[in-house]
Amino acid sequence: MLEGLGSWPVQQADQPPAHSREKAYASSNMALPLNTSLLPRTPETGSCACLRVHADHPPGVNLRDGCLSVAPGLESLAASYRIEEWRADGPGRASLEGHVHLLEHADVLFAAWHQPDTTLADTTRQAYLDLFLAVRARGFPYPVRIWNYFSDIHGDEDGLERYQSFCIGRGLALDELGITEESMPAATAIGTRAAGLFVYLIAARCPGKAIENPRQISAYRYPEQYSPESPAFARATRIETTEGPQLLLSGTASITGHESRHVGDCAAQAREILANLDALHATAGNDLPPPAWLRVYLRRPEDQPVVAGILSEHYPHTPAVHWVLGDVCRRELLVEIEGVHARTP
């Protein structure tokens, strides 16, 4: 369980005393009112107090018409435009705290942060401090899913690759907050062509369950050859929702143990990823439904037809797929896949 975050004290004047809330959370086993889907386009009518993630929009974060909209600099491949939507029951309360955009529901909180990323280690540290303190203050101490996007992931910063600087900044923030790497939820970190660091998350009042992959060493136990500071995320998070169990899949690459596999062979990398995703599904529980949707990050757009064919062969009913350009955290890796196991309407 994501126990490390639960130790944070919560104190805010316009809420019930911390001790009464903690007692309520501890005794609550309620399922989260959380649904997700990929939409082919922005709904033309009506409003929804939801989180929407847009590819191909000008990069930025805004709160409009009761919706938290994040455009993190992703670029859809041809004819693949999709909008990722997360919905919680009831009206949401939108607010802005410094650089943190918040959309608060009764049992789910969406939060997003965006700033220039010139010095990525410092920027990442600040992003995580701002976000985690904001969700804690509102009584949502359990992030269940986090996304990270930033530019020039393999570029140099003070003699380190920028992905390594990102890991260092995240690690510094977690140390300051007293959060262990083992308590972190599922996450994605992808390099984009857009400037700036985007971090957004879904938080809850009760913890999800961190799922690790028996085919892989936990990311926070990687040897130092990959980064002076290990990555901090779970391979997946299982949550219970009013629509049934969900499995939130981290960005997953062609790695077994801690080593990259099938260098230069995108098709073989895709098959290795699917083996990892199957292992996560089996570990998380056979009561979980198949994937509702997947996002595939490709370094080279010409690999899309091959990977699409492999997905079609693997899944009896191919889930909705969003194809985007993105740089995986290791130079030798060509493809990464994330997604959600959830019941579909």
Catalytic positions, please? 336
CB atoms within 10 A of CB 299: 17
* Residue 148: Cβ within 10 Å count: 25
Contact 256, 49 (CB under 8 A): no
CB of 63 closer than 8 Å to CB of 22? no
Return the closest-CA partner of residue 206 out of 107, 71, 330: 107
| Residue 289 and residue 244 in contact, taking contact as beta carbons nearer than 8 Å | yes
β-bridge pairing 197-204 and 142-151: antiparallel
- Report the alpha-carbon distance of residue 170 to residue 121 in Å, rounded: 8
- How many secondary structure helices (H) and strands (E) does the chain include? 5, 22
Nearest Cα to 13, choosing from 129, 105, 137? 137
Give CA 223 to chain center in angstroms: 23
